[in-house]
Amino acid sequence: MTNLGLESKEHLIMVGLMTGTSMDGLDISVAKVRFSEESAKAVVLAEGSVPYTDNLRESVEECLSGDGEKIAATHFTLGEFMARETERFLKEQKIEQVDAVGMHGQTVHHMSGTSSLQIGEPSFLAQLLKVPVVSDFRASDIAAGGTGAPLIPMVDCWLFQKKGGAVICLNLGGVANVTFLPPADSGEPITGFDTGPGMALMDEVMKLSTGKKFDDEGACSVQGTPDIEKVNHWLEHPFIQAPPPKSTGRDTFGLSWLNENVSLSPTESPDDLMATLSLFTARSVAVNCRQFFPIDSAQQLIISGGGVYNEAVMNDLEELFSPLTVVSSQEYGIDPFMKEALGFAMLGAANLKKIPGNLPSVTGAIRQVILGKVTV
């Protein structure tokens, strides 16, 4: 690896970029990241989101069809968009110098343990900002025999693990993933995995049935009546029943799943359908946690991602996880929308510090590896 002169720095000013399964825009987090022998700390300096243009969102969604020409074209279009918007954001925030960028890119394909593809050419960022860009984080874990996801459990460890008490971290983005953090002084392994759908299915149904991008604050879901029989049937899905390590994406829970399982006929109440999907999302999380985590030893469920702001999903989770205390990551000073962007700032810094970023107890990899490739 090229010596970039960053490994010896006490702290790194990192930009973290995340484009999630919801495919709605770019999240940007700028943080001062510092690693010590026992921990990692991050101080957020600025953060914000930039929505995709309608044309870019359409192009990204079309990539799910697997068309090579479309994927290649969007790879460059998206990379240019990310570079331009990141530069603009830094200027707006009056941040004159950063050390590097940790860029996740847009997932257009993920087959657990076999292959994963994130698009967004990093060369545009490297040339425009004149700093190294760490990207393509999942390939190293897959090459080491892992599932390639989730990668955020290491970040959860850095941000939320504490002595004397276990906690569960839940990220409700497009896909839902969980991390079990045993007490820091216990010596027990951290575990985690994708549980199934997060908010992507609900967002897609809102778009198809009402034209809205998402169910704002759960206004539709909270008014509806869930179909328990449907939820029970959906919970029999092989992925939800499978033991970890496991990871998923739109390839499993996307439009094809909706076409097979959901009726959008005029006689179907959108509110009832959204309530049904809300309960399915919450129960798929709870079923997995109760089956694969020592949940009785946990003190808190810490939730991040857009699902934090959906009243129906949060109500369902509070009921299903009682008597655990259910809190937003905001109570720890971490913006729920920005945790993953911050996470890839930290994982990017870990690469430059030559610190492994995966957890074999989560992904099933045979060893810890340094995640990501560097573009200069």
At 350-366, the pLDDT tens digits run 999 999 999 999 999 99
pLDDT at site 24: 86
Backbone angles phi, psi at 227, to 5 degrees: -90, 100
Q: Which amino acid is at 13?
A: I
Q: Which two structure tokens, joined as six digits, stand for 29?
A: 């987090």
What b/e readout covers 64-75, taking b as 16+ CB neighbours within 10 angstroms? beeeeebbeebb
Cβ distance 168 to 302 under 8 Å? yes
Cβ distance 245 to 146 under 8 Å? yes
Number of neighbouring beta carbons within 10 Å of residue 261: 15
pLDDT at site 3: 56
Cβ distance 15 to 100 under 8 Å? yes
The H or E element containing residue 85 is helix 68-92
Average pLDDT, the chain: 95
In this structure, whether the domain defined by 152-332 belongs to CATH 3.30.420.40 is answered with yes
Q: Which two structure tokens, joined as six digits, stand for 121?
A: 């050419």
Average pLDDT over residues 19-34: 93
Banded model confidence at residue 1, pLDDT cuts 50, 70, 90 = very low
Backbone angles phi, psi at 230, to 5 degrees: -65, -45
Cβ distance 270 to 209 under 8 Å? yes
**Residue 98 and residue 298: Cα distance in Å, rounded?**
38
Task: List, in sequence order, every beta strand (DSSP E) within the chain.
Answer: 12-19, 25-35, 40-51, 100-111, 115-119, 133-135, 166-172, 175-181, 191-197, 298-304, 325-328, 373-375
Q: Which amino acid is at 325?
A: T
Banded model confidence at residue 279, pLDDT cuts 50, 70, 90 = very high
CB neighbour class for 187 (10 Å; exposed up to 12, middle 13-18, buried from 19): exposed
**Residue 130 and residue 180: Cα distance in Å, rounded?**
38
Average pLDDT over residues 284-297: 97
Please report, to the nearest 10 degrees, the dihedral formed by the alpha carbons of residues 215, 25, 257, 206 taken in order.
20
**Residue 73 and residue 200: Cα distance in Å, rounded?**
24
The 3-class SS string of 248-269 reads CCCCCCCHHHHHHHCCCCCCCC
The β-bridge partners of 192 are: 179
pLDDT at site 263: 85
Residue 31, pLDDT > 50, answer: yes
Q: Which amino acid is at 214?
A: F
Q: Which two structure tokens, joined as six digits, stand for 320?
A: 């299903």
Banded model confidence at residue 2, pLDDT cuts 50, 70, 90 = low
Residues whose CB is less than 8 angstroms from the CB of residue 58 and which lie 6 or more positions away in sequence, other chains included: none
**Residue 23 and residue 40: Cα distance in Å, rounded?**
29
Residue 182, pLDDT > 70, answer: yes
Banded model confidence at residue 37, pLDDT cuts 50, 70, 90 = confident
Number of neighbouring beta carbons within 10 Å of residue 301: 22
The H or E element containing residue 165 is none
Average pLDDT over residues 261-273: 88
Measure CA 151 to chain center. Answer: 8
Question: Which among 3, 4, 7 has a CA at the least distance from the CA of 353?
Answer: 7
**Residue 201 and residue 222: Cα distance in Å, rounded?**
16
Report the SS3 class of residue 296.
helix
CATH of domain 12-146+337-375: 3.30.420.40
The β-bridge partners of 169 are: 179, 302
User: CATH 3.30.420.40 residue ranges in the chain?
Assistant: 12-146+337-375, 152-332
Banded model confidence at residue 323, pLDDT cuts 50, 70, 90 = very high
Could you report the per-residue pLDDT of 232-262, keeping only the tens digit for each? 999 999 999 999 999 998 889 998 999 999 9
